[in-house]
């Protein structure tokens, strides 16, 4: 697998930012060795699919904000064709061309930060300050890959006696992403931006409860000059994921989600000999030793558990406390948790938002 280095201050050690593609080992100008890298089910009746809707519901008020019609199976296959056609030309664009577009995208995110932050909070309920931080995070990621892709994917010389050898990286084609709702912009941006910069085209099935964010991301890419088909938002039922993975034009699948969803996607990817990347959450321990500063530790423990309203793969899931300080830690922890203020996530005074 070929992977970008992680930008300082942009991602933790638990984040993965990776390319998909083909590597070529060129031994002479006339000769090269090519190798790949990574950096019965039943569908609902067509009438049932037509009657389904994808709905944005405000978790704070239970108000239905907007509804979207899902694509039909035929429309989904047409989208694959469009993405594959776009790949044929996008892969030939220069890094400078891709960089210009991606920097526009980063700038666009910052210019529309208030609008996009509000959409995040309306779709999935996190506090508005967290949504604002997510948009800035995404802009930083887009800039990082825009500025670094050419050097990250430059030819790498190899020491081979009697030959002029090097490794050359090339894109794979159409890639599919299945993204979660907890970070509705960030999860998509970290998947899409490095792969678009590498010359791939991407299709994204976003979580069904954040459709306004899904639509906004696709529109943002289009407004920044990305050609039609290079980034595709798919409003589809989960059943159509199998259609996409099994299509010969789709070269890889990336999923962030549950273990159940990951197992299903992995099985389909294996059956169709497709490359796959799965991020299926975590069970992170928060360990407290006797010499810890208790006030600071409790503050960090509450933050670790409740960041993003607790809906984070790297949130603290288990608290392991040495017996000598266990009672004091638990008492202070319960007090801090009890003081959290649930309310309107648009209100800066709210410290615990609904989801």
DSSP secondary structure letters along 268-332: HHHHTT-EEEEE----EEEEE-TTS-HHHHHHHHHHHHHGGGG--TTSEEEEEE-HHHHHHHHHH
Phi, psi values for residue 194, rounded to 5°: -65, -35
Residue 294 domain-assigned (yes or no): yes
Residue 36: the pLDDT is 40
Name the nearest CA neighbour of 222 among 196, 241, 244, 199: 196
CA torsion angle 253 9 23 278 (round to 10): -20
| Owner of token pair 């809707």 | 53
Q: Is the pLDDT of residue 323 over 70?
A: yes
Do 228 and 291 reside in the same domain of the chain? no
Total domains present in the chain: 2
Residue 22: the pLDDT is 53
Do 112 and 197 reside in the same domain of the chain? yes
CA atoms within 13 A on the CB side of 84: 13
Residue 138 domain-assigned (yes or no): yes
- Which tokens is 274 given? 């497709």
Residue 272 domain-assigned (yes or no): yes
Do 247 and 289 reside in the same domain of the chain? no
Give the domain extent around 314: 284-338
Binning pLDDT at 50, 70 and 90, where does residue 325 land? very high
Query: Using CA atoms, how far apart are residues 2 and 172, in angstroms rounded to an integer?
Result: 12
Do 110 and 236 reside in the same domain of the chain? yes
Residue 53: the pLDDT is 86
Cβ neighbour number for residue 228 with a 10 Å cutoff: 11
Residue 343 domain-assigned (yes or no): no
User: Which residues are annotated as catalytic?
Assistant: 279
Residue 21: the pLDDT is 54
pLDDT tens for residues 235-259?
Answer: 999 899 999 999 999 999 999 999 9
Residue 26 domain-assigned (yes or no): no
Which run of H or of E encompasses 265? helix 259-271
Residue 351 domain-assigned (yes or no): no
| Owner of token pair 């960041």 | 307
Domain end call among 279, 294, 311? 279
Is residue 76 within 8 Å of residue 176, measured between CB atoms?
no
Do 217 and 334 reside in the same domain of the chain? no
Residue 252 domain-assigned (yes or no): yes
Query: Using CA atoms, how far apart are residues 101 and 260, in angstroms rounded to an integer?
Result: 36
Query: Using CA atoms, how far apart are residues 329 and 294, in angstroms rounded to an integer?
Result: 7
CA torsion angle 141 139 179 83 (round to 10): -90
Residue 326 domain-assigned (yes or no): yes
Binning pLDDT at 50, 70 and 90, where does residue 162 land? confident
Specify the higher pLDDT residue, 273 or 309. 273
Do 192 and 288 reside in the same domain of the chain? no
Residues contacting 179, CB < 8 A, separation 6+: 187, 188, 191, 204, 205, 206, 207, 256
Do 218 and 275 reside in the same domain of the chain? yes
Do 288 and 275 reside in the same domain of the chain? no
Do 141 and 223 reside in the same domain of the chain? yes
Do 109 and 93 reside in the same domain of the chain? yes
Q: What is the CATH number of the domain that holds 105?
A: 3.40.605.10
Do 236 and 330 reside in the same domain of the chain? no
Query: Using CA atoms, how far apart are residues 198 and 299, in angstroms rounded to an integer?
Result: 41
Is residue 211 within 8 Å of residue 235, measured between CB atoms?
yes
Do 224 and 130 reside in the same domain of the chain? yes
Name the nearest CA neighbour of 174 among 151, 147, 192, 152: 192
């Amino acid at each position: 697998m070929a992977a970008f280095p992680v930008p300082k201050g942009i991602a933790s050690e638990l984040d993965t930012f990776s390319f998909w593609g083909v590597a070529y080992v060129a031994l002479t100008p006339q000769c090269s060795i090519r190798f790949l890298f990574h950096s019965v089910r039943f569908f609902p009746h067509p009438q049932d699919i037509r009657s389904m809707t994808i709905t944005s519901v405000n978790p704070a008020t239970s108000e239905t904000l907007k509804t979207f019609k899902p694509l039909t199976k035929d429309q989904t296959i047409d989208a694959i064709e469009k993405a594959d056609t776009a790949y044929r030309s996008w892969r030939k664009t220069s890094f400078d061309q891709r960089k210009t577009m991606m920097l526009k995208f980063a700038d666009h995110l910052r210019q529309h930060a208030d609008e996009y932050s509000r959409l995040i909070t309306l779709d999935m309920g996190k506090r508005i300050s967290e949504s604002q931080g997510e948009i800035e995070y995404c802009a930083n990621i887009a800039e990082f890959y825009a500025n670094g892709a050419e050097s990250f994917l430059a030819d790498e010389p190899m020491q081979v006696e009697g030959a002029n050898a090097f490794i050359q990286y090339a894109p794979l084609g159409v890639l599919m992403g299945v993204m979660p709702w907890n970070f509705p912009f960030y999860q998509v941006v970290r998947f899409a931006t490095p792969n678009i910069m590498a010359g791939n085209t991407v299709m994204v099935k976003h979580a069904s409860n954040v459709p306004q964010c899904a639509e906004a991301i696709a529109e943002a890419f289009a407004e920044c000059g990305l050609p039609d088909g290079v980034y595709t938002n798919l409003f589809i039922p989960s059943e159509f994921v199998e259609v996409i993975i099994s299509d010969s034009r789709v070269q890889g699948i990336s999923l962030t989600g549950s273990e159940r969803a990951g197992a299903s996607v992995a099985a389909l990817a294996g059956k169709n000999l497709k490359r796959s990347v799965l991020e299926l959450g975590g069970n992170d321990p928060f360990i407290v030793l006797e010499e810890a500063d208790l006030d600071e530790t409790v503050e960090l423990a509450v933050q670790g558990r409740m960041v993003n309203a607790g809906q984070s793969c790297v949130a603290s899931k288990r608290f392991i406390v040495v017996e000598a300080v266990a009672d004091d830690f638990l008492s202070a922890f319960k007090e801090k948790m009890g003081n959290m203020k649930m309310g309107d996530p648009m209100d800066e005074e709210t410290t615990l938002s609904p989801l």
